[in-house]
C-alpha cells in the first residue's frame, strides 16, 4: 500500500514538473503550439515508456492510464498560454525562467528516479540491484533525452551539471534506505530533497564532469 502511494505521488509530481520543463525548452526553440505540447508530454512520459519496455510491461503503463498523458499535455498548454500572454517580457525575465525550468527539472528528475526504482520493487526485481538502479535512472533521464533529440540538442545528461550522476546517486540511496530500513516514506522525502538540492547546486555552481577539449584547427 505504501509503495503504491509513493509511486502515485512521485509519478504525478514528475509528470507535471517535466511537462513544465519540457514545454519551456520547446518554447525557447520556437516550436509552435503542437510542438510545445508534444515535447512537454514526451519529456513527462518518455522515461516511463522506456522503463516499461525494458521490463516487458507492454503496452507501456501510460496507454492504460491516459490521464497522465492528458495532464502532461494540459500542463504544457498552460505553460504555452502563460508565456504567450507575457511574451513581451520573456527576454527580460529570461534568467528567472531559466531558474524556474531548472527547479521543475530537478523535481521531475528526483520524482521519476524514485518512481522508476519503486516500479522495479513492485515488479519483485529488488534482488537485481543493477537492474533496479538502471530502471530508476532511465525513468529519471529518459524523457529529457527524448526532449533534447526533438529540439536537436546534445542530450543534457551527457554534457552538463552531472545530471545522470545525480539520478544514479538518488536511485542508489532510495534502494539502500528502502531495503535496509524498509521505510518508504522517509526514503522518498530524503531522496527527493537530496536529489533536488544536488541538482540545483550543480546548476548554480556549474558542476561538470571532466571533458577533453580538442582544438579542431590543430587536428586538421
- Domain tally, the chain: 1
Give a yes or no: residue 218 inside a domain. no
At 13 the three-state DSSP class reads: helix
Of 92, 172, 166, 90, nearest in space to 129 by CA = 172
Q: 17-50 pLDDT, tens per residue?
A: 999 999 999 999 999 999 999 999 999 999 999 9
Q: What pLDDT does 216 receive?
A: 64
Give a yes or no: residue 215 inside a domain. no
Q: 67-109 pLDDT, tens per residue?
A: 999 999 999 999 999 999 988 887 777 778 888 899 999 999 9
Q: What is the dihedral of CA 29, 26, 116, 16, to 10 degrees?
A: 150
Q: Print the domain residue range for 10.
A: 2-87+95-209
| Residue 5's pLDDT band (cuts 50, 70, 90) | confident
Q: Tell whether the torsion through CA atoms of 91, 97, 99 and 105 is positive or negative.
A: negative
Size of the chain, expressed as the number of residues it contains: 220
Q: Are 146 and 43 in contact (CB under 8 A)?
A: yes
Give a yes or no: residue 220 inside a domain. no
pTM here? 0.91
Q: What percent of the chain has pLDDT over 70?
A: 97
Give a yes or no: residue 216 inside a domain. no
Amino acid at each position: 500500500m505504501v509503495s503504491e502511494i509513493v509511486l502515485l505521488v512521485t509519478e504525478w509530481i514528475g509528470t507535471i514538473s517535466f511537462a513544465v520543463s519540457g514545454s519551456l525548452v520547446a518554447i525557447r526553440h520556437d516550436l509552435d503550439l503542437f510542438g510545445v505540447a508534444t515535447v512537454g508530454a514526451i519529456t513527462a512520459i518518455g522515461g516511463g515508456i522506456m522503463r516499461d519496455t525494458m521490463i516487458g510491461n507492454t503496452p507501456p503503463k501510460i496507454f492504460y492510464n491516459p490521464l497522465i498523458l492528458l495532464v502532461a499535455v494540459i500542463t504544457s498548454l498552460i505553460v504555452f498560454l502563460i508565456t504567450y500572454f507575457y511574451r513581451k517580457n520573456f527576454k527580460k525575465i529570461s534568467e528567472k525562467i531559466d531558474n524556474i525550468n531548472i527547479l521543475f527539472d530537478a523535481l521531475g528528475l528526483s520524482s521519476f528516479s524514485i518512481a522508476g526504482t519503486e516500479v522495479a520493487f513492485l515488479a519483485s526485481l529488488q534482488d537485481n540491484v543493477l537492474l533496479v538502479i538502471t530502471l530508476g535512472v532511465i525513468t529519471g533521464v529518459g524523457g529529457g533525452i527524448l526532449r533534447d533529440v526533438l529540439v536537436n540538442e546534445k542530450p543534457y545528461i551527457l554534457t552538463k551539471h552531472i545530471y545522470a550522476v545525480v539520478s544514479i546517486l538518488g536511485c542508489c540511496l532510495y534502494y539502500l534506505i528502502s531495503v535496509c530500513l524498509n521505510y518508504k516514506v522517509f526514503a522518498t522525502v530524503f531522496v527527493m530533497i537530496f536529489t533536488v538540492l544536488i541538482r540545483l547546486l550543480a546548476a548554480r555552481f556549474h558542476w561538470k564532469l571532466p571533458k577533453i577539449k580538442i582544438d579542431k584547427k590543430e587536428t586538421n
